[in-house]
Amino acid sequence: MGKLNGMKEYPVTIDTGYPCCLLITDTVVADSALEIYPIKSIAKEDIGGLCHVARIDIADMSITDPPCEYLLGHYEKKVLGQTIRKEKQILFGLAFLQKFAYVLIDNVAGEIEFCAKGDFTPNPDTSWSKYPMFIEKDHRRRERLMVDVPIEGKVTNLKFDTGATAGLLIREKVWNQLSENLTVLRKHNSFMVTLGGKVPCREITVEKLQVGDSLVKSAIIFVESDKTSFLEETPMLGMGYFKNMAIVLDFQQRLLWVKNPKAH
């Protein structure tokens, strides 16, 4: 949770899939009466423009005057015409996270650590795996976080999106190659929810999937049709396979650290 401008608290998402610094929903803009500067040229990407945030406080960390965009769309859920939930959240994007030496996300303890200086050094009593991590620009010249992680023993170049709840999102042609050695338990038509809307795909559950040094049982894989264009050609790895683990985004050493399940 983060306190905005010393007033109200909102959920904060650590989202490496968002390339810029901070992003907030328009419901937060309205709720906190923030000043905005609409920019029509980027409205096609569901970004309304810029907004002024004086400060965000998380525990003993304060972020002052961060560059911040706001999202259009009014994320509201209604039942029988009555609003039952309004999505109010703040996203910390890749440009912001890169300012730290490393960011530790412990999904077991429910804690996060932002380290401004120094290398991440694992406790010798625990077991960690590490994978190459780097930043590249996509076809729109926007930065994205990439990792090289073995999937079923084959090193795979993946976009790593900590804001995505999926484990693995791939295209049909990648699935056709990967599925040869997998046991499918069930599959059905589904969709993934993204900032830009819903992406139609097939939700396939396999008996087990080797992701790096971790064996994920009943692993869910989202398979996007080759006729859609959300993924382009790069598979995406989300937080779905790490929900019971701790990970470290080590920007100093350009490494993704994953705490091995047996260490918990």
In the predicted structure, residue 77 carries a pLDDT above the cut 70: no
Query: What's the average model confidence in pLDDT over 87-102?
Result: 92
Q: Of all residues in the chain, what percent carry a pLDDT higher than 70?
A: 87
Mean pLDDT of 54-81: 81
Q: What is the pLDDT of residue 255?
A: 96
The predicted-structure confidence for 201-259, as pLDDT tens digits, reads as follows 899 999 999 999 999 999 999 998 776 666 667 899 999 999 899 999 999 999 999 99
Mean pLDDT of the chain: 87
- The class (CATH top level) of 123-243 is mainly beta
Q: Which residue ranges make up each domain of the chain?
A: 2-97, 123-243
Per-residue pLDDT of 145-190, as tens digits, reads 999 999 999 999 999 999 988 899 998 888 998 988 899 999 998 8
Q: CB neighbours of 256 closer than 8 A, spacing ≥ 6?
A: 130, 131, 132, 133, 147, 149, 160, 247, 248, 249, 250
Nearest residue to 90 (alpha-carbon basis) of 5, 12, 3, 2:
12
